[in-house]
Amino acid sequence: MPYLNADLVRRVVRQALEEDGAFQDVTTLTTVPAEQQGRGVFLAKEGGVLAGLPLVSAAFEILDRSIEVRASLVDGAFLEPGMTIAHVEGPLAPILSAERIALNFLQRLSGVATATRRLTEAVDGLPVRIVDTRKTTPGLRVLERYAVQVGGGQNHRFNLADGVLIKDNHIAAGRARGLTLGQVIAAARAGAPHTMRIEVEVTSFEEAGEAVEARADVILLDNMTAAEMKRCVGMIAGRALTEASGGITAANARAIAESGVDIISSGALTHSAPALDISLDLDTEAG
């Protein structure tokens, strides 16, 4: 399983609880006695891939350490409707106050993991990597990228300081100064640390040719058809890694992978993944 830093989890979950007013939950504080106990069960309402259990545990622990969370599954497990994910038991008031935040994280991250799994399954058996992009929810990038890994995908550069990716607007800025694509790539290579790869986004066969001649390390084929990508891959002939991006879906991913690209990146894994339907069914008569 991918690593998820426990201190980061607690920091993000605490911020979410504070945002939700969970420490001053007026409704629960005025209607549920502190001594009342309860228990509940997290249930899958649809099939998918589970991700986010560490955040569920943190949500309840931060509000009340006496709450016990017992997981029946682990992140990465395949869910079917009706499956039990975890049990929670303890003082009812903090369980109610943390419920929404625990579910929000679990549903969101499981949705990302499920979307990733569907894309990886679409290219099963082919030598291509499925990766995410920087199109993540602000403040939740680490968590969403963790979910991508849980779903069987890999991560692109983490942030703008993590790697060179010359995109269309960088190229346009260079052309406005009279620079060719090759000169823009040369400038990036001269200014970036020697340990960094130089990746460049291209939208045509001609630009791909310029990029490979300028010794780009990775060439991103943006919004091309599978046939156009195959032509570019043949011309590049292993002189650079190739990445496909733009409009990637489970329906077209295999055809794109068969073009011979090394990497398929999809922003939809994080920006458009629907939340997985998961519920917390409470037994308020417990204890």
* Residue of 132, 201, 207, 210 marked active site: 201
Q: Has 135 been annotated as catalytic?
A: yes
Q: Has 189 been annotated as catalytic?
A: no
| Shared fold status for 6-118+274-283 and 121-271 | no
Range 20-36 average pLDDT: 97
Percent of the chain residues topping a pLDDT of 90: 97
Assign a CATH topology to domain 121-271: TIM Barrel (3.20.20)
* Residue of 25, 132, 210, 222 marked active site: 222
* Residue of 10, 45, 100, 141 marked active site: 100
Assign a CATH topology to domain 6-118+274-283: Aldehyde Oxidoreductase; domain 3 (3.90.1170)
Question: Sorting pLDDT into bands at 50, 70 and 90, what band is 1?
Answer: confident
Q: Has 100 been annotated as catalytic?
A: yes
CA 183, CA 200: separation in Å to the nearest integer?
Answer: 12
* Strand extents, DSSP E, the chain: 37-44, 48-49, 68-71, 78-79, 84-91, 129-131, 164-166, 198-202, 218-222, 241-245, 263-265, 278-283
Q: Which pLDDT belongs to residue 285?
A: 63
Spell out the domain ranges in the chain: 6-118+274-283, 121-271
Q: Which pLDDT belongs to residue 2?
A: 87
* Residue of 11, 65, 70, 167 marked active site: 167
Q: What is the pLDDT of residues 97-146, one digit of tens each?
A: 999 999 999 999 999 999 999 999 999 999 999 999 999 999 999 999 99
* Residue of 10, 14, 45, 135 marked active site: 135
Q: Has 167 been annotated as catalytic?
A: yes
Q: Has 11 been annotated as catalytic?
A: no
Q: What is the pLDDT of residues 48-100, one digit of tens each?
A: 999 999 999 999 999 999 999 999 999 999 999 999 999 999 999 999 999 99
The pTM for the full model equals: 0.95
